Amino acid sequence: MSTAERSAKPAEKRSRYDVESLLAVAVEVFGERGYDGTSMDDLARAAGITKSSFYHHVKGKEELLGRSLDRALGGLFAALETAESDDGPAVKRLEGLLRGSVQVLVREFPHVRLLLRVRGNTETERAALARRREFDHRVTALVAAAEAEGDLRSAADPGLTARLLFGLINSLTEWYRPGGGLGERELADAVVDLALSGLRVRPT
């Protein structure tokens, strides 16, 4: 038996798995079938291991959901805190947050997509929704601060503006695919340019 044949043996394949790689498999399956529609059997089949091997690594599918949502929320809150700690004007903090959020979306793509589909059917999901609400409140506060400093027009309510901004960013999960030719920087530039400067040519 050649080395190549040996390395394809199920036993060898199994030994390569850890929580991290099972999480990567699980989040893809959740993305395809929905969390509620995914069983541990589906996850074990997708990973190519037995269900009992799977349970050796994680307690169940809700643990994997929790880890995935933590990954997405951890990234988004880190971006928020980095932005908030900038001592420039609020509009600069807001721009930093928009760029940081696009970056998290690109880098943690399947986790962010899963977060956006959470509807609150389990304790883990309800905790994630509560953190999303806190995130939204802090974005609204940043928009309000930038309006108060006179750098943003205050045509709409800050809460509505915050929803539109993150609606725009979150909608990327509907069509964007990482590695598909459009880079993280180009995508962030397009989002920030649309949101802050608008598409219309400015009078010179």
Q: Is 145 in the site for its own copies (CB under 8 A)?
A: no
Map residues 16-55 to x or -, x wherever contact with its own copies holds by CB under 8 A. ------------------x--x------------------
Q: Site residues for its own copies, window 74-103 (CB under 8 A)?
A: 91
Place of tokens 């004007």: 89
Q: Give the CA diameter of the chain.
A: 73
Pick the closer one to its own copies by CB: 78 or 190. Answer: 190
Per-residue DSSP letter, 139:
H
Closest CA to 86 of 100, 73, 74, 105: 100
Segment contacting its own copies by CB under 8 A, of 11-19, 67-75, 121-129, 146-154: 146-154
Q: Is 181 in the site for its own copies (CB under 8 A)?
A: no
In a 10 Å sphere around its CB, with 0-12 CB exposed, 13-18 middle and 19+ buried, how is residue 4 labelled?
exposed
CA distance 84 to 87: 8
Options 164, 178, 180, 184; binder of its own copies; rule CB under 8 A: 164
Options 150, 177, 183, 185; binder of its own copies; rule CB under 8 A: 150
